[in-house]
Amino acid sequence: MKIKAIAMNTFREAIRDRVLYLLFFFTVVALLFSRLLAMLTVGDRVKIIKDVGLASISLFGMLMAILIGTGLVYKEIDKKTVFTLISKPIHRWQFLLGKFFGLVLTLFIMIVLMSLIFIIIVFLHTSKIEGRLLLAVLFIFIELILITAVAILFSCFSTPILSSLFSVSFYLIGHFSWGLETLLRKTKPGPTKVLLQGIYVLLPDLENFNFKTEAVYGLAVQSKFYFYSALYGLVYTLFILVLAVLIFKKRDFV
């Protein structure tokens, strides 16, 4: 109940945030812009609309998660409102999870709204609703849950600007881990390879949530890949959240 109360409060706080509306506005503009871009291409216009649409949802969703997530805990500490909360019979982990679920709820509603606009635009061109696109959006949302957890983790011990930078780096590293895999393939067996292997498995592989190409081209994906990807995202999120709780528990607010 306590987590729910904090989550609802965080949700209310987040939807009052101007950044959220600004980003939502830009997403809508980008989604509409995809129609204009499609007019400039030769060939499959719907492909461009799908590509730009999914990329906009993913990119602006990531910005929402990072820009709001990194400020959530920091703001409470900076404005000293955390003292009021901590003095109440609330555990620190409950406070943190409340913040996390509040932002996840906000993102969920934003994703639903963005997807609705996207699906309508695609529907106007193809006259059908494609389940694959919805599945791709679902995995974008799972990725955003993880990014939110990361943003909150950094927010526990750093300023919003630094936390945003760290979170964006996490996002970029996560999407470029294939580069490490390529390097790994070309490295001769030895201590360097072992080290690289360690870094490779430890770093997040956000490409596991990227089904945009498959959705656009209609490529088959094994159902167990979807299952393990979702599980990977949730377990990684749990790891990050536990780490955040451990850090937040040790944090001295004075």
Partner 1 sequence: MKTIPRSAKGSAALSLILLLCLAAAGFLSLKGTLDKIPRKKIPGASVIYIPSGKYLKYVTFGYPSLVADLVFIWAIQYYSTYTIVDRFAYLEHIFSIIAELDPRYQDPYEIGALIAFSEAKDPKLAYKIMDLALEKNPDQWVFPFEAGHYAQMVRDYETARNYYQKAIKIPGSPDIVKRLYAAVGFKAMDLQTSWETWLEIYNTSTDPRTKKIASKHLYQVKSTSDIIVLREAIRRFRDQYGHNPEDLAELVPMGYLASLPQDLDGKDYIYDSKTGEVKAPTIWWKR
CB of 120 to partner 1, least distance (A): 24
CA distances to 38, 56, 68, 87 from 153, in Å: 39, 25, 13, 22
**Min separation Cβ 224 and partner 1, Å:** 6
Instruction: Give 89 or 189: the residue with its C-beta nearer to partner 1.
Output: 89
Residues that bind partner 1 (CB under 8 A): 51, 182, 201-202, 205, 208, 213-214, 217, 219-222, 224-225, 228-229, 231-232, 235-236, 238-239, 242-243, 245-246, 249
Amino acid (one-letter) located at 64: M
Give the nearest distance from C-beta 174 to partner 1 in angstroms: 12
Q: Which is nearer to partner 1, 11 or 171 (CB)?
A: 171
Nearer to partner 1, 1 or 202 (CB): 202
Kindly state the smallest distance separating residue 217's Cβ from partner 1, in Å. 6
The CB-of-11 to partner 1 minimum distance in angstroms stands at 25
